[in-house]
Amino acid sequence: MAVPTRITPPGTLELEATYRSRRQIKGLTHDLYRYPARFSAELAAAVIEQFSSPGDLVLDPFMGAGTSAVEALSRGRRFAGFDINPLAVLLTDVKTTPLSDKHHRELELWAKTTDATGPMPALDARAKNAPIDIVDWFRPMVANAAVLSDPRLQKAARAVLIDVGQRSLDGRSKPVDPAMLPAMLRRSLSTLRVGLHEFESRVIRSGSKPSETSRRRIIRCGSAQDLARSRGLNRLAGRVSLVVTSPPYPGIHVLYHRWQVRGRAETPFPYWLANLQDGLGPTHYTMGGRSRLGEGRYFDSILEAWTGVRRLLREGAIVVQVLAFAAPDRQLTRYLAMLEEAGFTRRRDLEPEGWREVPNRRWYFRVQPDRGQAREVLLVHQAP
């Protein structure tokens, strides 16, 4: 008996190629800040092109630093995104907010002004474990960011400072020499300027106006389960055409809310730079811990989240997500059962086959060659 041939829908081969790609995340505004466990921009673009059309509403309920937002908006789609981390919301906002040439000139002047023109910000627990010589360099820059002429510029300046801070501190056994920080600031500012110009050009090519970008997006800080059910977002119910996302990975420890400095010490310094409040533990951002109890909390929360998201989707909407698992054999089966309970139908015919090796990803623990955490899987589901 002949073996049935697997039918390959249009676009699946391109999705397969981008799924296997090991190219670095770059282009547009993606180069500003290396958000932990960030989604592949190349893969997000391929998913958006294959499963949506210009004008459609794309949702990312676990938004991170806005990879899907940048790709959706630059391709003429509308976008809605949620994230529980205020850092993620700030970065997504900045990465998808076009600025004028006058705005960019004001940011360049801000970067050259090393003496504080506004009140010096006080230090608090958010500066814990940050080297004092690094903190002292940032203080006047933060003070000057707070008095920029436009709230959009204030956010952009803080996002640039977060980028510089991460590059100078995070994951380093020895912080950089503070004398290098002005050059790093200029490079980050250039990254934002070039990235936004490319983003604006792509928006124009898609047939949209950069000035209307803010009206084509909804970005909210909060959990997917709360926001998807909130009365304030009732207008989205039944309107989402595509979900493209990468939820927190069950049982895998990722520091979304801290930088690691001088080995294993952790600092909430990015929240001080961004003037955002923090004080929540890692289980808040990962929806659970690495224990069996934490795993149970994760699956309870993720079921609630996907059940809420389901009400926002129109009939036939596609859900594409990339995940890794601490214990793939057990957790993948449980995750798929959870999605079925939430009302989704798996579309294996649209999925690339097998797992992909995770390229250039820090997991904050030592990964062994046979550990499941080193691999990701792409899942495709559909709302009936």
Per-residue pLDDT, averaged over 216-232, amounts to 94
Of 208, 212, 168, give the one whose Cα is nearest residue 188: 168
Average pLDDT, rounded, for the chain: 90
Q: What is the pLDDT of residue 39?
A: 84
The predicted-structure confidence for 28-72, as pLDDT tens digits, reads as follows 999 999 998 888 999 999 999 999 999 999 999 999 999 999 999
The answer to whether 322 touches 351, Cβ cutoff 8 Å, is: no
pLDDT the model gives residue 7: 40
Kindly state the tokens that stand for 286.
């990962």
Q: pLDDT at position 255, please? A: 86
Residue 195 confidence (pLDDT) above 50 = yes
Q: Which CATH superfamily is domain 12-382 in?
A: Vaccinia Virus protein VP39 (3.40.50.150)
CB of 85 within 8 A of CB of 257?
yes
Which whole number is the average pLDDT over 227-236? 93
Residue with tokens 């995940």, as numbered in its chain: 323
Binned at pLDDT 50, 70 and 90, residue 13 comes out as low
Query: Which comes out higher in pLDDT, residue 356 or 157?
Result: 157
pLDDT at 264: 81
pLDDT tens per residue across span 304-339: 999 999 999 999 999 999 999 999 999 999 999 999
The closest alpha carbon to 223, from 286, 163, 141, 269, belongs to 286
262-293: pLDDT as tens digits? 878 999 999 999 999 886 777 888 888 777 78
Which of 115-129, 174-188, 256-270 is modeled with the greatest confidence?
Answer: 174-188
User: pLDDT tens digits for 344-378?
Assistant: 999 999 999 889 887 555 544 434 444 445 689 99
Placement of tokens 């079921």 in the chain: 303
**Could you tell me if 334 and 302 are in contact, meaning their C-beta atoms sit under 8 angstroms apart?**
no
pLDDT band with cut points at 50, 70 and 90 for residue 27: confident
Residue-level pLDDT at 364 = 46
pLDDT of residue 8: 46
Domain ranges for the chain: 12-382
- What pLDDT is recorded for position 370? 41
Decide if pLDDT at 2 tops 70.
no
Sole residue written with tokens 């289980």: 283
pLDDT exceeding 70 applies to what percent of the chain?
A: 92
Pick the residue with more confidence: 12 or 186?
A: 186
